[in-house]
Amino acid sequence: MSEASRLREDICRIAKSMFDRGLTCGASGNISARLSDGTLLMTPTGSSMGFLDPARISHLDADLRLLSGDPPTKEIPLHSAFYDTRAQTGAVVHLHSTHSVALSMLPDTDADNMLPALTPYAIMRLGKVKLLPFFLPGDAGMGQAVRGLAGKRSAVVLANHGPVVAGKDLWAASHSIEELEETAKLALMTRGMGAVGLSDPQIAAVVRTFDIDW
């Protein structure tokens, strides 16, 4: 199986798993992955992540022109911003996951690091998660906001919209965005209950041990 065929199958399999588990619903969410030749595979616009066809995945050249497949998601500027500013990016996943969106709407959520340090795994997989302001869906301003971070964050949450995570490959990005959603869920479940998160020394130990950009 060719690299492109394998990635097409992986995108569809991962997207369906996320859809089936309620991590994104309807025709929301999108995924992209970079091939070794610099071209991109991307989920088509208006498609449901639960019912993707590998043959209809959008294939874009390095200049984001459509080579084959259906027209791509309108969130191209959001995806391309991560590829352009983080050389190590091999895939980008964007969801409309409920708990992440809910946390983004609470007035006391820290915009510079919206996830409380509840477990070591969120720190290890995500580093600090930046909360970005609200943009209309498809607004190129989302990509500009990501570019403004100068490659320093692998994960952001768009207020009232959803999380976006870049990873070294499709599986890494998928695992990380799921960690983000589960941590947001934990934060909401334990809110106001006096939950004990990681202390500053514990956070520092995780960052030091696993060489996290913090």
Beta bridge partners of 91: 33, 167
C-beta of residue 44 within 8 angstroms of C-beta of residue 53: no
Residue type, 112: D
- Catalytic entry in 3, 9, 121, 181: 121
What is the edge-to-edge ordering of all strands in the sheet holding 155-158?
A: 66-68, 58-60, 40-42, 30-34, 91-94, 162-167, 155-158, 130-132
φ, ψ dihedrals at 91, nearest 5°? -160, 155
Length of the chain as a residue count: 214
- Catalytic entry in 3, 9, 75, 178: 75
Examine the residue annotation and report whether 83 is marked as an active-site residue of this protein: no
Examine the residue annotation and report whether 121 is marked as an active-site residue of this protein: yes
Enzyme catalytic residues: 75, 121
